Each structure stands twice: as C-alpha cells, then as structure tokens.
Amino acid sequence: MQAPLLEVKNLKKYFDTPNGLLHAVDDVSFTIEKSKTLGVVGESGCGKSTLGRTILHLLDSTSGTILFNGRDITKVGKAQLKELRRDMQIIFQDPFSSLDPRKCVSDIIAEPMLIYKKYPNRKAAMEKVAELMETVGLAARLAYSYPHELDGGRRQRIGIARALALDPQFIVCDEPVSALDVSIQAQILNLMQDIQQERKLTYVFITHNLSVVKHISDDIMVMYLGNMIEKAAKQELFQRPLHPYTQALLSAIPIPDIDVPKKRILLRGEVTSPIDPKPGCRFAPRCQYAKPECFETNPEIQEVVPGHFAACHRVREINSLGSECGGGQV
Ligand code: SF4
C-alpha cells in the first residue's frame, strides 16, 4: 500500500449560530491514496461540502489534523496557503456562479496562471490555456465567449480547466455534475476520469447521487449529520452496506429489472438537529433498530470487517456478523 496523499484525523468544523454550536463536521477521519477517488455521499446538510472546504482551508477547522503528502497543513500562514493552492483545487457545483461573468473563457482559465506567474509571459500562459481547452473538450472558437453565452456542460468544462491550470495533485469536486442535464453528466464524469488517469490526480468527490458516486469512486464514505458513519471500498459498500442509514440509502436506488423484487427501506422519524446535538447516535430517531443504548452514546467508527468501517452499536447483530475484525485505522 502506497503512502496516502491526504490524511484527515478527527477533523471538526463547528459554526457558532444564534441557536448554539452547529456541528457541521464532527470527528471525521480518513485517508486517500494518490490517484484515487474518495466519494463522499449523504443527504443535503450532512456536512460533506463543509468537509471539502475545510480540507482546502476555504474554512478554518475547529480541531483535528490534515496531512498532505505527509506534511501537516492544519494551520498554515498566508504564504503557505498560497503554495497549497497550487496543489489543492476545487470544482464547484454551480459553474455559472463560480465563474466571473465579466471575463471571457480564456481569461478565466488564464487567471490562476497569471496570479501565480506560472509562465514567463501572457503569450506562454495563453498557449497553455489553448492546451487546457483542448483537454477539457472546449472548442478553440469559444476562447473569447462569456460564461452566459455557454450551456451548463461547457461552463463546467471551464471550471475543470481552471482547476487544472496550476497542475494540482488534489481536487475537491463538490457536486460537479448535480446542476447538469443527465446526458451531460455522463460526459463530464468521463472527462474527469480521463483527466484523473492522465494526470494522476486524487479526488474527493462530493455528491448526494449514489449512481454518480458508484461510477467514479474507489472508496466511499457515507456522512450523516456531520458524522462519518460508514466507509469501504466501492464494491464492498454497494454489495454489503452495514450501517442502517446506508442500507436505507441504497434501497432507494431503482433497479432497471422489474423481475427483481426490491424492498425499499423508508426512513421515518425526525432528523436530529446538528446544533448542540444530544448524546447518542444521531440516526437513532429514524433507525428501525434503535435500542435505548443508542440514545445514550454516539457510536465510534470501527472496522467491522477488514477495510469496512461503520459507526453503529448494533452493526454485528443487524448484519449477523461475528467479531471478524477489530480496530483498524480508517
Ligand atoms: Fe441504529 Fe443504534 Fe446503530 Fe444508531 S447505533 S444506527 S440507532 S442501531
């Protein structure tokens, strides 16, 4: 196993609100190897976007550690942060609002290169822009078009080209295809996979769409109200979801075969507030397996079977598992 590119340990991001402390990301730990994709999935408001932004220092962490290439980047000064931006980039969900409407395509893509003085002059930067436009499938004739003149797919291609402008190693992809038509989604996902292979990029891919996460990820992490509640390799997670919440999520994926019966698990009950959350499992009010102990302590994430982690007091009982494994690193 190669050394991880990114190691996140016990990361927390809390927000002060008039009603109390909002636990947006609460004690999340994971590692990603170079050139791999970690899919982060969960309902809206589970903290997945906050997690991505905290890793990139777009938000300050409350506590925890972030190691990048083995270097502690949890607290960095302005100069170090500028250096980090070369290696760590983001692709946003809404390409339209993330692009400067006053700039044409070539200027948008060139901007990071000019700020970072990556090339000796504007001409060299513009040659790189042309190369990047070709990489992401944007016709050269669009170089002087403005974002409002283009469709969503093309705008997202600009967002991808811009993210690649500084030759990063790591990209947080924050719902990059959610705002696009289904037919365009597949094109953008395939493009992102091709670019990843060519450039050995590492992705954290944030989405609420299970089909998308299945298509693009190597490993998948499931979040619920700020907590990481399950993590495993993609095939393992889809074949054997262990946490009751993941089981409910996967039961909602439609199967294109009417002869295969499928029982959908409906979640009932109130969603717990992430503001000053009560002790106990945050999923307990909606969990069909909840017992009194579940309302007392929040379960720790544990390795239930080799390489497969879940945070549930009753995970072995629910899934009829023995104590196959115990206590590996997330
Ligand atoms: Fe359900 Fe209890 Fe497991 Fe939480 S800890 S998921 S409430 S069984």
Per-residue pLDDT tens digits for 274-327? 999 999 999 999 999 999 999 999 999 999 999 999 999 999 999 988 765 555
pLDDT greater at residue 130 or residue 258:
130
Distance 233 CA to ligand 1 centre (A): 22
Cα–Cα dist 262/267, whole Å: 16
Whether residue 230 contacts residue 242, with contact meaning beta carbons closer than 8 Å, is answered with: yes
Distance 17 CA to ligand 1 centre (A): 28
Whether residue 227 contacts residue 13, with contact meaning beta carbons closer than 8 Å, is answered with: no
Q: Which of 242, 243, 300, 314 to mutate to test the pocket of ligand 1 (most atoms within 8 A of CB)?
A: 314
Average the pLDDT over 191-207 and give the result: 97
* Helical pair 122-135 and 152-164, crossing angle rounded to 10 deg: 130
> Edge-to-edge strand order for the sheet containing 63-68?
20-33, 4-17, 63-68, 71-72
Residue 185 corresponds to which amino acid?
A: Q
Distance 298 CA to ligand 1 centre (A): 9
Query: For residue range 93-113, what is the model confidence (pLDDT) as tens digits?
Result: 887 788 999 999 999 999 999
Distance 320 CA to ligand 1 centre (A): 15
Whether residue 176 contacts residue 187, with contact meaning beta carbons closer than 8 Å, is answered with: no
Residues with CB under 6 A from ligand 1: 244, 281, 283-284, 287, 289-290, 294, 299, 312-314
Average predicted confidence (pLDDT) for the chain: 92
Instruction: Give the model's pLDDT for residue 268.
Output: 84
Cα–Cα dist 69/54, whole Å: 17
Cα–Cα dist 271/269, whole Å: 7
* Helical pair 105-115 and 122-135, crossing angle rounded to 10 deg: 120
Angstrom CA distances, 225 to 25, 41, 228, 276, stand at 8, 12, 8, 12
Query: For residue range 10-33, what is the model confidence (pLDDT) as tens digits?
Result: 999 999 999 999 999 999 999 999
Looking at ligand 1, which residue's alpha carbon is closest to its atom 7?
284
Looking at ligand 1, which residue's alpha carbon is closest to its atom 5?
312
Instruction: Give the model's pLDDT for residue 179.
Output: 84
Q: pTM of the full predicted structure? A: 0.92
Query: For residue range 141-161, what is the model confidence (pLDDT) as tens digits?
Result: 999 999 999 999 999 999 999
pLDDT greater at residue 191 or residue 324:
191
pLDDT greater at residue 139 or residue 77:
139
